[in-house]
Amino acid sequence: MANLVDARGRSCPEPVIMTKNAIESGQEGIKVLVDAQVAVENIKRFATSQGYKVEVEEREDEYSLTLRK
Range of the domain at 21: 3-68
pLDDT band (50, 70, 90) for residue 2: low
Q: Which of 8, 10, 12, 68 is catalytic?
A: 12
Global pTM? 0.92
Question: CATH code at 33?
Answer: 3.30.110.40
pLDDT tens digits, 30-49: 999 999 999 999 999 999 99
Average pLDDT over the chain, rounded to whole?
94
- Is residue 12 flagged as an active site residue? yes
The pLDDT of residue 27 is: 76
Number of domains into which the chain is organized: 1
Kindly write down the DSSP assignment for every residue of the chain, as one continuous string: --EEEE-TT--TTHHHHHHHHHHHTT-SSEEEEES-HHHHHHHHHHHHHTT-EEEEEEETTEEEEEEE-
Percentage of residues of the chain with pLDDT beyond 70: 97
Backbone angles phi, psi at 10, to 5 degrees: -105, 145
